[in-house]
């Protein structure tokens, strides 16, 4: 993958979920809308290159900041 291809995947329409919890949640919601809804998403993190504390912090942010936003937005759009 070239640097340009990598950077293209970081954009709002790209596949990589990188950013603040709000940015990640917004990107997931954008993709869900574009695909007509998604029922699950899998996060892959490179545990070999991230220090353990950063990996655990990322997991905590997904559970405490990203997931609640997704649940709320998806519940309100279903209603």
Q: What is the CA radius of gyration of the chain?
A: 14
pLDDT digits (tens, 9 = 90+) for 18-30: 999 999 999 999 9
Q: Is the pLDDT of residue 79 over 80?
A: no
pLDDT digits (tens, 9 = 90+) for 31-71: 999 999 988 999 999 889 989 999 999 999 999 999 999 99
Rounded CA separation 51/41 (Å) = 23
Rounded CA separation 21/43 (Å) = 13
Q: How many domains does the chain have?
A: 1
- Degrees to nearest 5, angle at CA 72 with 45 and 22: 45
Supply the range of the domain harboring residue 14.
3-78
Q: Is the pLDDT of residue 7 over 90?
A: yes
């Amino acid at each position: 993958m070239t640097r340009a291809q990598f950077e293209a995947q970081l954009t709002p329409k790209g596949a990589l979920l990188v950013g603040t919890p709000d940015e990640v949640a917004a990107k997931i919601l954008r993709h869900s809308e574009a695909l007509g809804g998604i029922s699950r998403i899998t996060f892959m993190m490179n545990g070999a290159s991230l220090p353990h504390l950063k990996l655990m912090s990322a997991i905590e942010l997904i559970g405490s900041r990203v997931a609640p936003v997704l649940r709320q937005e998806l519940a309100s759009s279903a209603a």
